[in-house]
Chain A
Amino acid sequence: MDLAYSSEEEAFRAEVRAFLKDKLPPDIANKVKKAKRLSKDDYYRWHNTLYQQGWVSPNWPKEFGGTGWTPAQYQIFDEENCAAGSPRIIPFGISMVGPVIIRFGSDYQKERFLPPMQSGEEFWCQGFSEPGSGSDLASLKTKAVREGDHYIVNGQKTWTTLGQFADWIFCLVRTDPEAKQQMGISMVLIDLKSEGVDMRPILTVDGEHHINEVFLDNVKVPAENLIGEENKGWDYAKFLLVNERMGIAGVGQSKADLEILKDVARLESKNGKPLIDDPLFQAKLSRLEIDLMALEYTNLRMLTSQGGGAAVGALSSYLKIRGSEIQQTLMELTMEAVGPYAAPWMPQANDAEWNGEPVGPEYAAASTSRFLDRRKTTIYGGSNEIQRNIIAKHVLNM
């Protein structure tokens, strides 16, 4: 047992830090740290910068451009990026469908889709959930019927995050309506420019446009865009979810958010003292920080001490549950810390270009909308209740 970072790992941290200092555009970092809206170009610029450095797809196998980092290095990379204010790499390509194409895709698919996914020339989004299929994903109804060398796809997908920036969508579709639920599902890659695709925004409770609904009306999808075998899509979807485990705890971002929260609590005051020294507030803050420490080391412990595979996939449900709860509490306490100036509704302040006079301190404007936005974290990616079902069944064998 050795819980310290090695000198090689510390050297790696210094390397990442120097790179970020040199290459992360200050205008983008400023937007990220102040929770301003990011444009597609902001995401693209940073994605492509990491691509040039060879660091955009650390989780991929080395021969496809992965880095071969240890879990500790991955953690360091995540932590440093979040602390510096790097935009996240939109996960749907690099973290989700990329590894599926590498593992199950055809040679054509690897050549066609992986290079622009890495460079950022093509962005991806996810088509799993449907209006009638949320937690019970396997009940999905979007249909794909084979006609010659095409599938004809009809149906509706929803909660499609950042679909407005995406060029492609990977979808679960029903290809065998007779088979038992999970058995009749396939995964297909659909060009969002195809005729019959209609992407419409869904505004969320924070007033922002993060997600969309996607209508698919007789969309022609070339059969070569089917992943692997027909009716095996559920297996690929499960692989995708297990493979996502590296970042699921969100430790780096939460550590960065904690620093911002402490920053606010030092600037706010109560009873003539900084809020951070108020016993009631400090107790809440400390509980949160302790939970985050526990998550950080549980994340490292699970990633370093397990061989991989399905067991880790199920254990990662622990990380998803606690990680998402912490992400929510961070924003809840930040909103509380701001106090009365958390009440004014100032969506225009979310725009970095806005030159108006903020009401109250600058950090106040986004605090309540971020609290509202974070409600999604315990719902998406398999709700925390579904995660508990997974642990009960696959870890505790109940």
Chain B
Amino acid sequence: MDFAFSEEQQLFGDALRKLFENEYSADRRRAIVDSEESYSGDVWGHFAEMGLFGLPFAEDVGGFGGNASDVLVVCLELGRSLSLEPFVASVVLGGGAVRLAGSPEQQQSLLAGVVSGERKLAAAFLEPHARYDLADVDTEASAQDGGHRLTGRKAVVLGGDCADTFIVSARASGSDGGLSLFAVDAAAPGVSVRGYKLVDGRGAAEVEFEDVELGPDALLGEAGSALPVIEQVADLGAAALCAEAIGAIEMINEMTLEYLKTRQQFGRPIGSFQVLQHRMVDLYLELEHAKSLVFVASAMADGDNADARAKAVSAAKNYIGDKGRDIAKDAVQMHGGMGVTREYALGDYVKRVLVADMLFGDADHHLERFGRISADPAAAGASVWA
């Protein structure tokens, strides 16, 4: 058992941090958020040069055959730097769906562009009425001429504002109501995208499909049996959002601790007051425990055991949702008036933590999912009281 990152991973993380320090001043980032731009094309180009996009993919599709902890290192840094680039949307979610469900030919054709950064994917799973239920899908794909005709609406699609291809969940006719996955070109007739920015500055979209004609090669995997893959992809995405949140919370804690040590009131640093010291300790205590859960979730999200994966991811997502928001609120309080100004960066980190809870299942959703698996009688041992 080993929780340490390899030297190579640490160097990679450091390089990424350096890149953001150079390319991504607070002003530059804010200018992007305030503009029509979705993210920095320069940073995206650097990501491609560094090989970021190939990390989770096998070498035969141009990837680097990395593992879950490689992606974890990246996401921690993206969170620390409040990256706006759609790495999680395109590489982890969209790319994850193609990697897990696509045929070798589909992987070749779709992932080559992902790895080079030229094609951006987005996973369009959840619908306006469905809240966080991945199985509650009204989008329909009726079979025709060997292909399908797609109609439906998808909600808050992360990275959907700039995606070239959507990976869409839908009910295909003739497959007993089971779910299927389709790769759909954003420019295809009948696809309309209403892009917008999220609270944390990232791009997303409401996506509507109206009688979109899909060829036979659009179907990823078998018709009607995609739910397990969809759940795993959502878990990969949730774990990545959690890792980003950890990076953001690290920054929140560092900023807050620094503030407590420097801000003077009553003739001394406010961090000398025990009432604030203990609150600060609790922020770090929760961070350390959150981090452990996120490391485990990230390792398990790529594993084969569906229940173990779901438990690990739901534990981390619940913890980040609940405790992450508590940390954010406490950090703002301890900053006093500074904490509620737009100019000070704390609020940007707080927003990233809030959004991490809102996508792919909030704290309550994952608490319920965790509980369902954990309370399963099949998981019970022998009773002491029998």
Contact = CB atoms under 8 A, between A and B. Distances in A.
Contacts of A304: 1-3
Interface stretch (B17-25, B41-49, B148-156, B276-284): B276-284
Given A283-B367, A385-B278, A392-B281, A33 B384 contact: yes
A297 B296 contact: yes
Interface in B369-386: 370-371, 374-375, 377, 380-381, 383-385
A385 to B, nearest CB: 7
Nearest to B4: A305
A259 B381 contact: yes
Most buried by A among B2, B278, B290, B312: B2
A342 B377 CA distance: 24
B321 to A, nearest CB: 11
Interface residues of B, number: 47
B103 interface: no
A363 interface: yes
Contacts of A279: 368
Contacts of A6: 1
Contact of A3 (B284, B285, B299): B299
A300 B1 contact: yes
A260 B384 contact: yes
Contacts of B367: 283, 286-287, 290
Interface residues of A, number: 54
Interface in B249-303: 257, 260-261, 271-272, 274, 277-278, 280-282, 284-285, 288-293, 295-296, 299
B40 interface: no
Nearest to B381: A259
Contacts, number: 145
A205 interface: no
Contacts of A322: 285, 289
A283 B365 CA distance: 11
B142 interface: no
Contacts of B385: 263-264, 267, 361-363
B331 to A, nearest CB: 14
A285 B281 contact: no
Interface string A358-389: 00011100000000000000000000010011
Interface string A244-288: 000000000000000110111111000000001101001101110
B315 interface: yes
B252 to A, nearest CB: 14
A398 B285 contact: no
A77 interface: no
B288 A293 contact: no
A70 B2 CA distance: 11
Contact of B288 (A3, A267, A298): A298
A1 interface: yes
A5 interface: yes
A285 B2 contact: no
A294 B1 contact: no
B370 A398 contact: no
Contacts of A2: 1-2
A363 B386 CA distance: 11
Contacts of B292: 294, 297-298, 301
Given A1-B69, A263-B385, A301 B3 contact: yes
Question: Chain B CB within 10 Å — which of A2, A6, A287, A290 has the most?
Answer: A290
A276 B375 contact: yes
A297 B297 CA distance: 11
B316 to A, nearest CB: 9
Nearest to B278: A388
Contacts of B280: 392, 396, 398
B257 A290 contact: no
6 contacts: A266-B377, A287-B318, A287-B367, A290-B318, A294-B290, A294-B293
Given A289-B315, A385-B278, 11 more contacts: A1-B2, A1-B9, A266-B380, A283-B367, A283-B371, A301-B3, A305-B4, A363-B385, A388-B277, A398-B271, A398-B272
Nearest 5 CB-CB pairings of A with B: A297-B292, A294-B289, A392-B277, A286-B371, A1-B69
